[in-house]
Amino acid sequence: MSWEVVIGLEIHAQLATKSKIFSGASTAFGAQPNAQACLVDLGYPGVLPVLNEQAVAMAVKFGVAVGAEITRRSVFARKNYFYPDLPKGYQISQFELPIVGNGQLTIKLEDGTEKVVGITRAHLEEDAGKSLHDIFSDRTGIDLNRAGTPLLEIVSEPDMRSAAEAVTYMRKIHQIVRYLGVCDGSMQEGSFRCDANVSVRPMGQEELGTRTELKNINSFRFVERAINFEIQRQIDLIEDGGTVTQETRLYDPDKDETRSMRSKEEANDYRYFPDPDLLPVVIDDDFIAAIKAELPELPAAKTIRFAESFGLKSAQIETLVGDVDMAAYFEQVVGEGADPRLAANYVLGDLTAALNKDSLEIAVSKISAVDMAGLIKRVMDNTISGKIAKEVFEAMWSGEGSADAVIESRGLKQITDTGAIEAAVDQAIADNPQQVAEFKGGKEKVLGFFVGKVMQLTQGKANPGQVNKLLRDKLSA
Amino acid sequence: MPLSKQDIDHIARLARLEVAPQEKGDYAEKLSQIIELVEQLGAIDTTGVVPMAHPLDMVQRLRPDSVTETDQRDYLQQNARDTENALYIVPKVIE
C-alpha cells in the first residue's frame, strides 16, 4: 500500500528582546546559573507580570511579514502543568486569542515548484527554565535563567507531505525571523526549536491518521532524520497490523530513533484559562502601521532586486539572499565599488570557504566588506591577476592588512609594463626552441606552456591578457 | 454530570494534591455541587455576547524593553530547600 505523510510543525522562536517577557531580568545567553532569574521568573507569591512592549512588537512584525491577521484584542492564558523548570505551576501562554492569526508562507520545493504552507497562528508565551540531569546522579539541578524568555510559537497547518518539505518550511521561517531581527536563530543555543506532528494515511484517504508529536529536535538535519524515522516506524507498525498511539515522542540523535515520553501524557490536560494577572492586549492601527513602516526588505523582494540589479546567476542569488548577513555583506562590497559578479564569486567562493574552514559566521569575518571590495578593485583595475588575488586573500585572512598593504609589502603588483613583459616573453621563447617548433607546427596547447614560463619569470605578476597577446604575436611572426 | 472518584484522582494528580481515600467521596460530591451551580449559567442565551477575558474593562499596559533587575541569586536562594553550584536542587526528574 502506498502511504501519504502529513506533517505540521510548531516552531519556537526566542524573541531577541533584552529583557524577559514579563519581568525586567536580562535574557542574555551564557550567564551564571540563576543569575538572571528574578522574583517574577521564580514565581514568588504576590508578584505580577508586566508585558514587554518589544515582545509584542516582534510578534506583530512576524505576523505582518507572513501576511497574517493581527488579533486586535489578544488574551494571555495559563497553561497548567507541574514541572520543576516552571516554578509557578503554569506557563503564561495564549490559547483562544493568539496575537497572530491565519497567515501563509510560500516555499520552493526541490523540483522547483512552489507550495503554499498555511500558518495557523503564532502566539506569545514564556519559556521554561532548564533541567540539568547529568550533573548529579540522584538529583536534578534547575537553572531558571531561561524562565520567562519570550517565545513566539509559530504553528503551521498540517500541509507538509515529506520530511524534506518540513525542513524547507522550517528554513524559510528561520530566514524570515532572522531578516526581521526578531530572533537570532541559533539552534545550538536553543533560540530556534521545533516540534513536529507526524502522521500517515493511505494515499487518497481524507481522514487524518493518528499523529505523534516529536520533541527535542535542535538542528535542520535532525528534523529531517527524526521525521523520516517516525514515518517509517508508523508505516511498519500499521502494516504489521498495529495502530499508532497518539503520544509525545523524543528524538534521540545518538541512536537515530524516537521513543515514547510516557511521563508527558497525563500532563497533556492543561486546563487553560485566561490569566487574571494580565489584561487583554489591544493593538491599534497606529501600532501596526509603525511596524509596517520599519519592516526590512524580505527575502522574496531581495531576490527580485538582486536579479534586476546585479546580473547574477539564480543559484548565486539564492545563496546570497539565504542568509541576511551574507546578503548585507555582499551589498556592502558592491556599494564600495566592486563589480557585482566578481563580488558574488569572492563572497561565495574564497570567503565562504575560509569562513567554513574557521567555523566563523560572516558577521565576524576576518576580512571586512570594505577590505573585500578593496581586493576586488585591485583585480578590476589590473593591479593584480585573479591568481595573485588568491594569495592576497589568504594574506588578508591571516591578518596582514588590506589588499593594498599586502600587494605593497609582498611586491605583488602586476606587471603591465609592456617592455618588461616583452622581455620575459622573448626569454621564454629563446629558452624553448623545441616548443616553439611544436607551436608553429599547429600544436595550440603549447601556448599554455609558454604562459606558464612567462609567469614563472615574472613571479606570476605579469598581466595574463597581455602575456597571451604578446606570445601569440611573437610565436606567429 | 457528577464527578466520580476517578475524576477526583485525576484532578488531584494534575494539581499534585494528595487526597486521602476516605475524603474522595466528599470531594466528589462537593465539587459536583460547584459545577452544578456554575452550569446554571448555561441557561442564559449569550448569542452575540463577546466573551469576557477579564472583569476589569481596561487594556494591558506595556513596559519598555529594558533590564531593570539585578542579580539577587544568593539572597533569593536562601529560601530554597536545597541549592548547589548555584542551581536549585530537586528530586531526580526521570524522563
For A66-110, the pLDDT digits (tens) are 999 999 999 999 999 888 999 999 999 999 999 999 999 999 898
In tens, the pLDDT along A388-405 reads 899 999 999 999 999 999
State the DSSP code for A320: H
φ, ψ of residue A252 in degrees (nearest 5): -110, 105
Nearest by CB: B65 against A17, A135, A144: A17
Q: Which domains does chain A show, CATH number per domain?
A: 3-287 (no CATH), 297-410 (no CATH), 418-476 (1.10.10.410)
d(CA A425, CA A474): 8
pLDDT value of position A266: 60
Which residues from B are below 8 Å from A26, CB to CB? 67, 69
pLDDT band for position A31 (cuts 50, 70, 90): very high
Q: Write down the H helix ranges in A26-185.
A: 53-65, 163-180
State the DSSP code for A284: -
d(CA A166, CA B15): 36
A24 inside 8 A of chain B by CB: yes
pLDDT value of position A385: 85
| Grid coordinates given for B52 | 469576557
Give how far A173 is from chain B: nearest CA, Å. Answer: 24
Which residues from A are below 8 Å from B81, CB to CB? none
pLDDT value of position A475: 83
Residue A317 has pLDDT above 90, yes or no: yes
d(CA B88, CA B95): 18
d(CA A48, CA A352): 48
In tens, the pLDDT along A182-196 reads 999 998 889 999 999
Nearest by CB: A33 against B16, B87, B95: B87
Do residue A279 and residue B62 have CB atoms under 8 angstroms apart? no
In this prediction the ipTM stands at 0.91
Q: Number of Cβ pairs closer than 8 Å across A and B?
A: 139
Do residue A50 and residue B61 have CB atoms under 8 angstroms apart? yes
One-letter amino acid identity for A265? E
Which residues from B are below 8 Å from A282, CB to CB? 59-60
Terminal CA-to-CA distance of chain B, rounded, Å?
35
Over residues A209-224, the mean pLDDT reads: 90
Q: Which SS3 state, helix, strand or coil, does residue A122 take?
A: strand
Which residues from A are below 8 Å from B86, CB to CB? 32-35, 143
Counting as low any pLDDT under 50, the low residues of chain B are none
d(CA A167, CA A175): 12
Which residues from B are below 8 Å from A94, CB to CB? none
Break chain B down into helix, strand, coil percent, rounded to 5.
Answer: 40, 10, 50
φ, ψ of residue A361 in degrees (nearest 5): -85, 155
Residue the block writes with cell 599586502 = A406
Which of A151-165, A265-279, A364-378 bottoms out in mean pLDDT, i.e. has the lowest? A265-279
Q: Which CATH class is domain B5-43?
A: mainly alpha
Binding-face residues of A in 136-165 toward B, CB within 8 A:
136, 138-144
State the DSSP code for A362: G
Do residue B60 and residue A280 have CB atoms under 8 angstroms apart? yes
Computed over every residue of chain A, the mean pLDDT equals 92
pLDDT value of position A39: 97
